[in-house]
Chains A and B, each alone.
Chain A
Amino acid sequence: NAGVTQTPKFQVLKTGQSMTLQCAQDMNHEYMSWYRQDPGMGLRLIHYSVGAGITDQGEVPNGYNVSRSTTEDFPLRLLSAAPSQTSVYFCASSYRSGGADTQYFGPGTRLTVL
């Protein structure tokens, strides 16, 4: 199993540009989530999904959209990038919903917005 994969690993955007961060898992996990990691702030939940077709907001959802058309994929879209979105983004999945189970993390995407 590849586990959780993320692309790209690095990305530089200009303010106002849009892009999609890809996340896929091959463990048939129902629960998937996106976090951002900022120095001194730990990991903060952006959006999550409890299954295909079901998504919800986390702690810091503004400026981000998600969709979950399949169990495997959970892309994160930045519609109009802002410097405040410079961060490292991690996708995670788990068997059970709500984060009550072990989270499996992807390798992360380091995003810089100029």
Chain B
Amino acid sequence: AQSVSQHNHHVILSEAASLELGCNYSYGGTVNLFWYVQYPGQHLQLLLKYFSGDPLVKGIKGFEAEFIKSKFSFNLRKPSVQWSDTAEYFCAVINTGTASKLTFGTGTRLQVTL
């Protein structure tokens, strides 16, 4: 069965620190990849997505992610985090070549301190 792994469950950073959150998936084939963010008390919203083309994708609020097909990874990065980036981040993957459904990782809670 397909699975999505987010190894960092809880990350604490100071403002201006750099961020990298890992996301790995377990299956091959053509995939669509997403990062969603859930700010405290709010619903999930799309941060960025990769369907095809340039494997380095840029999203909202200065976030970016790099798709490395050989490593089955789609890590999320931000050069300098802000207090307002405190949120839970979810990676999601779907194999577009099969009838599989979108699978979410378990999420990473990011806490940014002042």
Residues of A within 8 A of B (CB): 35, 40-45, 48, 58-59, 90, 92, 98-103, 105-108
A90 touches B32 (CB 8 A): no
Q: Name A40's contact: one of B9, B90, B104 (CB within 8 Å).
A: B9
A43 touches B90 (CB 8 A): yes
Q: List 6 A-B contacts (CB under 8 A).
A: A42-B104, A42-B106, A98-B96, A103-B34, A103-B92, A105-B44
B43 touches A108 (CB 8 A): yes
Task: Give the distance in Å from the alpha carbon of A65 to the alpha carbon of B107 in the complex.
Answer: 27
Interface size class of B (residues with CB under 8 A): 20 to 34
Interface string of B66-103 (1 = CB under 8 A from A): 00000000000000000000000010101010011110
**Chain A residues, Cβ within 8 Å of B22:** none
A42 touches B105 (CB 8 A): yes
A48 touches B101 (CB 8 A): yes
B106 touches A103 (CB 8 A): no
Tell me the B42-70 residues at the A interface (CB within 8 Å): 42-46, 49
* Nearest CB of chain B from residue A53's CB, rounded to whole Å: 19
Task: Give the distance in Å from the alpha carbon of A104 to the alpha carbon of B44 in the complex.
Answer: 8
Residue of B nearest to A94 (CB): B102
Residue of A nearest to B6 (CB): A42
**Chain A residues, Cβ within 8 Å of B96:** 98, 100
A-B contact sample (6 more), CB < 8 A, given A40-B106, A43-B90: A59-B101, A98-B99, A100-B32, A100-B96, A101-B32, A105-B36
